[in-house]
Structure 1
């Protein structure tokens, strides 16, 4: 199935990119990946069925510039890679002490992804509480660009203390996105704080062939379209009552966790709905 239609924004809207976390997962072999497909060909296959992928390997260790270049060369022009930030930057008692680690992470060569570079995902442990001073210092350390390439940052807090208006104000001032986690385990924060939105869907079910039932897929497609057109969708959990200004925004939607074996099917089902909407428009 071609994914190009799903990546083309409607007039007055940003682009919508939909994908999964990583691309090397054994249960996807024979389900998402054709039987016998070489592992070296998995990214090429996935990038033609999906419109985005989170790179997970960067969370555990630095990668070489030539590897980022190889990944970029494997994917179509419309594809986007989100890059998961190093745990050595985020799994700290004092975030303000991580400036060197942040600089090293951003300089590892991720800009070799070129125009296919999407947001950097900074994910925090569930035990990390909101400390305004320390977190403010962390946000100030995030570079706006690297090697002449603009960087976009998405913050994923996983503790209820982040449901604080001060955090939303801080994120908006820094122009970083707050990840919306559709999860049973982590706080849901739908406030729009940047020029893009980032959602991680974590409730897919193995007893649903597409991970989610049709009504849920329709709902998430509608929400993604509203984010892309600049709105703040109703029915989500907001920290502050004041919505962000209405303006076109790129939207990144990743199917993560839950029944991971169903993640590609759920992402493809969302892409199909978005492509159908684009065709109608």
Structure 2
């Protein structure tokens, strides 16, 4: 990815950011074995799963890049599978940057990973930078993170420690043009934060991670928050994938907001 980025930079200017739809609702990942028989028809070959998913949702949050740095071939495969479909990918940034190196000396790595957006072109949504839950608020770390972000990208930062929900963080992200990831998660503030034109929400669960089946009433509360935020663009992903709840709840919220 590094060599490809440098080579591309010597030949052409990066393409302008794509202009995705106003409302983007989907799931955090689409390939889970437990979805066979609960979402995907039992006899459907796995090679047909993405097409089936894209018949129901027009965006997906890719979690695999967090665990394994994508190759050029991987990104090209994403492009091929979405060909002819109204699909937008959001890409979770590698744990090498966020969890292992913890943003120490990762400027080039962030640029290299950002090249994925140039390769995806109009299929690109956001980059999701997720911090570990063990990392509390630190003004120095916040400055380090924001200094490495490319403002030409749609950068979303997900904090997992409640101390990051404070006015200094909101102001710093707003100044940098970065998006604060609002979370529905255990022991995290239950509120929607807006620091940019776009807003971004991840649903993980209420009392337990990944296992909560959101009720219509709970999603209606979030739908009202989303409407009242008057965002230029909305990104919502369900990560409560236990028993297929993410699929079910994403469809519910889409219906509530009038997109389903």
Offset, 1:161 = 2.1
Q: Secondary structure at the match of 2:41?
A: coil
Tell me, yes or no, if structure 1 residue 273 matches structure 2 residue 260: no
1:135 to 1:204, Cα distance in 2 relative to 1, 3 A: closer
Ranges in structure 2 where 5+ consecutive residues have no aligned partner: 1-19
- Within 5 A, what are the aligned runs for 1:226-241? 226-227=228-229, 230=230
Residue 48 in structure 1 maps to residue 55 in structure 2: yes
Aligned-partner SS, 2:47: helix
Measured in 2, the distance between the counterparts of 1:28 and 1:203 equals 18
Change (3 A) 1:184 1:204: closer
Deviations 1:206-253 (A, max 9, x none): xxxx932222233333333333xx2xxxxxxxxxxxxxxxxx411111
Cα root mean square deviation, aligned: 2.6
Which 4+ stretches in 1 moved above 6 angstroms? Answer: none
Which one of 224, 247, 250 corresponds to residue 264 of structure 1? 247
Q: Check 1:18–1:97 CA distance in 2 against 1; reply closer, same or farther (3 A cut).
A: same
Which residue of the other structure, out of 16, 20, 25, is the alignment partner of 2:27? 20
| 3-state SS, counterpart of residue 17 of structure 1 | strand
Task: Quote the offset at 1:256 in angstroms.
Answer: 1.1
Correspondences of 1:1-281 after superposition (within 5 Å): 15-75=22-82, 77-92=85-100, 95-107=103-115, 109-145=116-152, 151-188=153-190, 190-203=192-205, 211-227=213-229, 230=230, 248-257=231-240, 259=242, 261-275=244-258
SS in 2 for 1:275: coil
Match of 2:15 in 1: none
5+ unaligned residues in a row in structure 1: which ranges? 1-8, 146-150, 231-247
What's the TM-score, normalizing by structure 2?
A: 0.81
1:190-213 CA deviation, whole Å, 9 max, x = no partner? 3211121110112279xxxx9322
Secondary structure in structure 2 of the residue aligned to 1:138: helix
TM-score, structure 1 normalization = 0.75
Q: Secondary structure at the match of 1:95?
A: coil
Aligned partners of 2:38 and 2:243 also within 8 Å: no
Q: Which residue of 2 aligns with 1:239?
A: none
